[in-house]
């Protein structure tokens, strides 16, 4: 056998030894990797050209900021049999304090489900987020939650938020806690959505919360991109400052909304906040969800706009690039984010959080339910073995 096939083995060995070495970077092991430009030397269609120039990799799943999302029903919340009278939506990010996880969210408990702006009264909500308060819940494991009750109630008229306080997010700064939220002065659907951001503060995540009774991020001047609304405030600590990303929308007056994300920064949680001169910094997305990633900031760009369902990254927190295109993103995601306020230069990413889902059969979105999402947007799951498993 050996005598008969020896010449063939020899030929094979010589061919292998003399052939030019092709070294393809291993996408599994070389994060953060750079793919070789493999464009052939011939004209390409516009779509193929764009595949090499507009995106970081021809296969988005090869980027470390790619993930699939898994969802789990939460235990512990009562929804009145889902009749639309109790709603929970727009969760904050999740923090860990006093040995448990905390989440804050928009809570509505009204005699009827939403009936649209024209049918709304002092007690009948126009939309799912009308006549709401900010409530909170705690959990030992992130799956079963104990609802603790109200954190920020609606203040008396005419204070900011008298009609509804919604869509909050949490900041921890120098040992104190700050909840930022939308303060409605009119029912949603009657231009109440053109609301600014207000803030309440507390010494403990359990409260009591003191409203600052002031607008902390005001609407932009007439003609500005954010003149109509300042929504979904999302605080992080970055470069020694408080960074609040928020959503606004061009064209609010004629209801052709084009939703985008802006940034305002401050040295003090009660302001003044300075809006970034390059705003809007993300051209798409609905609710804001961002997280420290390596030395910069990553964003889940969810739902609206040309770049919806992408995950983006900006080393400076301002100039974002698409890193991956994903599916089934968590709506209004509030991730568990241990390094949200540590001013990290090496953001580790996220693996789970709370999002919401709505039964959007009507404009006003009858009611919403909180649910848990899990994902692999974490540096710690990108070791070669884990990565093989995840892809």
Eight-state DSSP code of residue 319: S
Member of 154, 163, 231, 323 binding ligand AAL (CB under 6 A): 231
Q: Is 226 or 287 the residue whose CB approaches ligand AAL more closely?
A: 287
Helix spans in the chain (H): 2-18, 46-53, 384-390
Of 236 and 332, nearer to ligand AAL (C-beta) is: 332
Which of positions 13-72 make contact with ligand AAL (CB under 6 A)?
none
Q: What sign for the dihedral angle of Cα 274, 278, 282, 286? A: positive
- Binders of ligand AAL among residues 122 to 181 (CB under 6 A) are 129, 166-167
Q: Which residues contact 257 (CB under 8 A, 6 or more apart)?
A: 249, 250, 251
**Residue 364 lies near ligand AAL (rule: CB under 6 A):** no
How many residues are present in the chain? 391
Q: How far is the CB of 188 from ligand AAL (least distance, A)?
A: 7
How far does CA 260 lie from the centroid of its chain? 13
Choose, by CB under 6 A, the member of 130, 169, 186, 193 that binds ligand AAL: 193
Q: How far apart are CA 271 and CA 242, in angstroms?
A: 9
How far is it, in rounded angstroms, from Cα 278 to Cα 296?
Answer: 17
Q: Please, are residues 209 and 179 in contact by the beta-carbon 8 Å criterion?
A: yes
Q: Which residue in the set 65, 77, 87, 90 belongs to the binding site for ligand AAL (CB under 6 A)?
A: 90
How far are the Cα atoms of 66, 96, 350, 370 from residue 379, in angstroms, in the given order?
Answer: 11, 20, 9, 26
Minimum Å distance from CB 133 to ligand AAL? 13
CB of residue 303 vs ligand AAL: minimum separation in angstroms?
9
Q: Residues 286, 323, 348, 367: which binds ligand AAL (CB under 6 A)?
A: 286
**Interface with ligand AAL, residue 339, by CB under 6 A:** no
Q: For residue 232, which of 189, 269, 182 has the smallest C-alpha distance?
A: 182
Measured from the CB atom, is 170 or 381 closer to ligand AAL? 170
Q: Give whichever of 228 and 273 is closer to ligand AAL, judged by the CB atom.
A: 228
What minimum distance in Å lies between the beta carbon of 264 and ligand AAL? 17
Name the minimum Å distance from CB 162 to ligand AAL: 16
Distance CA 208, CA 201 (A): 8
**Using alpha carbons only, how large is the chain's radius of gyration in Å?**
24
Interface with ligand AAL (CB under 6 A)? 90, 129, 166-167, 182, 193, 231-232, 247, 286-287, 332
């Amino acid at each position: 056998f050996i005598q008969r096939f020896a010449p063939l083995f020899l030929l094979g060995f010589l061919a292998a030894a003399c052939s030019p070495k092709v070294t393809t970077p291993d996408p599994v092991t070389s994060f953060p990797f750079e793919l070789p430009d493999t464009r052939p030397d011939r004209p390409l269609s516009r779509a193929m050209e764009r595949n090499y120039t507009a995106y970081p990799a021809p296969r988005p799943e090869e980027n470390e900021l790619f993930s699939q999302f898994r969802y789990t029903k939460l235990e512990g919340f009562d929804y009145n049999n889902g009749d639309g009278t109790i709603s929970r939506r727009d969760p904050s990010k999740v923090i860990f304090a006093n040995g448990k996880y905390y989440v804050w969210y928009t809570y509505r408990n009204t005699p009827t489900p939403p009936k649209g702006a024209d049918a709304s009264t002092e007690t009948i909500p126009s939309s799912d987020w009308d006549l709401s308060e900010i409530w909170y819940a705690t959990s030992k494991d992130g799956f079963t939650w104990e609802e603790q009750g109200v954190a920020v109630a609606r203040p008396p008229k005419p204070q900011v938020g008298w009609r509804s306080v919604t869509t909050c997010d949490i900041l921890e700064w120098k040992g104190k806690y700050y909840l930022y939220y939308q303060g409605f002065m009119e029912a949603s659907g009657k231009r109440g959505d053109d609301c600014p951001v207000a803030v309440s503060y507390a010494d403990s995540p359990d409260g009591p919360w003191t409203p600052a009774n002031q607008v902390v991020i005001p609407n932009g001047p007439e003609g500005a991109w954010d003149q109509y609304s300042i929504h979904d405030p999302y605080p992080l600590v970055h470069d020694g400052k408080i960074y609040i990303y928020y959503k606004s929308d061009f064209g609010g007056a004629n209801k052709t909304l084009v939703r985008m994300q802006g940034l305002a920064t401050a040295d003090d949680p009660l302001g003044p906040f300075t809006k970034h001169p390059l705003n809007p910094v993300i051209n798409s997305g609905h609710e804001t969800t961002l997280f420290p990633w390596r030395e910069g900031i990553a964003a889940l760009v969810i739902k609206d706009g040309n770049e919806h369902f992408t995950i983006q990254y900006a080393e400076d927190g301002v100039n974002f690039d698409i890193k991956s295109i994903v599916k089934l993103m968590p709506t209004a995601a509030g991730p568990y984010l241990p390094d949200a306020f540590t001013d990290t230069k090496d953001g580790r990413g996220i693996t789970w959080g709370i999002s919401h889902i709505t039964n959007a059969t009507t404009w006003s979105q009858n009611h919403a339910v909180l649910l848990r999402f899990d994902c692999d947007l974490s540096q710690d799951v990108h070791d070669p073995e884990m990565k093989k498993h995840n892809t």
